[in-house]
Each structure stands twice: as structure tokens, then as C-alpha cells.
Amino acid sequence: MIIELNNIIIDSKVKLSYLDDIVKYIRDNEKRILDFFNIDKLSQKYKIIIMPFNEFRDYIINKYGKYENFQRGDTDKSSNTIRILSFEDQKEYTTHKDEDFNSYLKMILHEFVHACNDEINNDYYETTWFNEGLATNLANQNYNVIDLSDCDFNRLKKEWNNYGKNKYSYAFTIVNYIINNYSKEELDKLISDSNYLREKSNEIFNNIKNK
């Protein structure tokens, strides 16, 4: 079954009992996300595909060279496609076995945030921490603000894929502070201008770390 909304088309390769819940959650949240990025609508609709584990894993391996068992969603700007692992297979095959359906919906919204972010700027070189921090914060995912004293920020910037433990919590913490303390004008510039973000990133991190 294919459902078309204002900014997305939802398709599933598995039979879902919760498709209506996904549709409602996106409808309830998409305007808030679009408004944050100062977007009326996406220039091209994204397709959300709900996938079984084997297809999702094979796609991730083909794109990134390996699959890690925490992965359950991916946004691809080149094809305007968001691929999501089914909720049942998330619980069976990933490290998110104990997370409830509300967490699953937030993860889908996380990927929609990436789609909106990419509409403004998809230069992720040494800025993945910022983009992931935006996505975790705007999707209201279950992260807490944590101590940054153990965060190796240079590694977080340069080695995001291999950083390991706490990278999402560090990103959430840094961007949570930016969202709540920086002006909208400054935030918009950080989002839209990756060169500016890269120039300011160490200053931003050190200011937050020393609070």
C-alpha cells in the first residue's frame, strides 16, 4: 500500500498493522520540522520505504561497506529516499530490542529531519555531529544532556562513523545547547553555511564544555 502526503510518499515491502500510526505521526510533526528550517515544503517529495531486515542490511552494506546492528534508518539525498527497518525486525535484529513503538516513530521523524536539513545544506564534511544533533533534538528522541568532559571533539568531527560510544549523546548535548541559547539568526547560519559551522565549531564546543 502506498500513501502520499504533502512531503513524503510512504511505501512498505512488508505487511504493516501500524502504517496509519506512522502517517498520523508524520502529519502531526512535519509542519514543526519544516518551520524550524524555514521551509514551506520539500522541493521534491521523499519516499519512505519500510523494509525487511535482509533488504535493509544489504542496502546499508552496499552504500556504506558494512552494516552495524544499531542501524535502522537511512536518508539518501541522491534518490530522495528514506529507508526504514520494520519495527518487528528492529526488535529482532538490532540493539534497539527494548525500545517501544513511540521510539520507532521518533526514529522515522529523525530521518525526516535529515531530509529537511538536506534541503538547506547537505555538506556533512566534519559536520555530521551537528546534523545528527539537530535530528535527535528535533525528533525529541530519548537522549539526555551529558557531561562533555570526556568528549574528544576533534575525533567527533573527523571520525563520526568510527567514534563509538556516546557520539549521539554528545551531539545531542551540544546542539541542545545551541538551539536553546543561540539566536535564530545564528542558528540558521550554522545550518545553512557549513564553512561557517566548521570555523565556529571549536569555539562553540569549548564554550559549552566550560559552562
Same-domain pairing of 173 and 153: yes
The C-alpha atoms of residue 31 and residue 115 are separated, in whole angstroms, by: 13
Same-domain pairing of 112 and 132: no
CB atoms within 10 A of CB 39: 16
Same-domain pairing of 172 and 105: no
Number of structural domains found in the chain: 2
Higher-pLDDT residue of 164 and 18 is 18
Same-domain pairing of 55 and 2: yes
Same-domain pairing of 129 and 87: no
Domain boundary among 98, 120, 142: 120
pLDDT 10s digits, 77-91: 999 999 999 999 999
Indicate if the pLDDT at residue 95 is higher than 90: yes
Indicate if the pLDDT at residue 13 is higher than 90: no
pLDDT 10s digits, 188-201: 999 999 999 999 99
Instruction: Please tell me the predicted confidence (pLDDT) of residue 164.
Output: 83
Q: Which domain covers residue 174, as residue numbers?
A: 122-211
Q: How confident is the model at residue 158 (pLDDT cuts 50, 70, 90)?
A: very high
Q: How confident is the model at residue 210 (pLDDT cuts 50, 70, 90)?
A: confident
Mean pLDDT of 26-49: 97
Same-domain pairing of 131 and 106: no
Domain boundary among 92, 120, 148: 120
Mean pLDDT of 16-24: 94
The C-alpha atoms of residue 12 and residue 94 are separated, in whole angstroms, by: 19
pLDDT 10s digits, 55-66: 999 999 999 999
Three-state secondary-structure class, residue 11: strand
Cell of 38: 524555514
| Phi/psi of residue 14, nearest 5 degrees | -130, 155
Instruction: Please tell me the predicted confidence (pLDDT) of residue 5.
Output: 93
Same-domain pairing of 39 and 95: yes
Average pLDDT taken over every residue of the chain:
95
Q: What is the CATH number of the domain that holds 39?
A: 3.40.30.160
Contact yes or no for 108/149 (Cβ under 8 A) = no
The C-alpha atoms of residue 26 and residue 7 are separated, in whole angstroms, by: 10
Same-domain pairing of 38 and 75: yes
Same-domain pairing of 47 and 66: yes
Domain boundary among 84, 103, 120: 120
Indicate if the pLDDT at residue 151 is higher than 90: yes
Same-domain pairing of 45 and 105: yes
Same-domain pairing of 100 and 148: no
Q: What is the CA radius of gyration of the chain?
A: 17
Same-domain pairing of 187 and 133: yes
Three-state secondary-structure class, residue 46: strand
Residue whose C-alpha is closest to residue 48's, from 23, 29, 18: 23
Question: Is residue 165 classed exposed, middle or buried when 0-12, 13-18 and 19+ CB atoms within 10 A define those classes?
Answer: exposed
